Amino acid sequence: MLPRPSPGAPRVDELDLAAFFARFDAAAPAHLRLGWRATVFVLGAAWPRALGHGGSFATLDDAARDAALCRAEGVAALAPLLDVLKLVVSLAYFSDRRVEAHFRGSP
């Protein structure tokens, strides 16, 4: 669900996301933690199944993931979850100093 890095930017799988989410869980207010968990459950598990996929979001290939997210964007009830998703994944991605340095240094 994380944004695909631009050319030259650190790849998502190079980042220490476990450390980010440990800090997020410790610091986020209850309603934001709840919103994040609801987002992960609905978009990560329930929504792919509602679209007819056999598994969770993590089991889909890139094209299927993109299609699932684009379909979700057209459903009004899922809009708040997509907002939470974009906020948290952006915070996670840019919390890494290498990412911040890459974008600040980009032409």
Secondary structure element (H or E) that encloses residue 22, with its range: helix 17-27
Tell me the number of residues near another protein by CB under 8 A.
40
Exactly one of 13, 18, 29, 52 binds another protein (CB under 8 A); that residue is 29
Based on the shown chain and the rule CB under 8 A, indicate whether residue 34 belongs to the binding site for another protein: no
Exactly one of 16, 19, 22, 23 binds another protein (CB under 8 A); that residue is 23
Give the contact letters, 46-75, x = binds to another protein (CB under 8 A), - = no. Answer: -------------------xx--xx-xx--
Write the single-letter amino acid at 104: R
Contact 12, 20 (CB under 8 A): no
Q: How far is the CB of 64 from another protein (least distance, A)?
A: 11
Measured between alpha carbons, how far is 6 from 29 in angstroms, rounded to an integer? 31
Measured between alpha carbons, how far is 50 from 43 in angstroms, rounded to an integer? 10
Q: State the maximum Cα–Cα separation within the chain, in Å, rounded to a whole number.
A: 43
Specify the residue, 6 or 59, whose C-beta has the smaller distance to another protein.
6
Spatial CB neighbours of 21, under 8 Å, sequence gap ≥ 6? 92
Give contact residues for another protein (rule: CB under 8 A): 3-7, 9, 20, 23-24, 27-29, 31-32, 65-66, 69-70, 72-73, 76, 79-80, 82-83, 85-87, 90-95, 97, 100, 103-104, 106-107
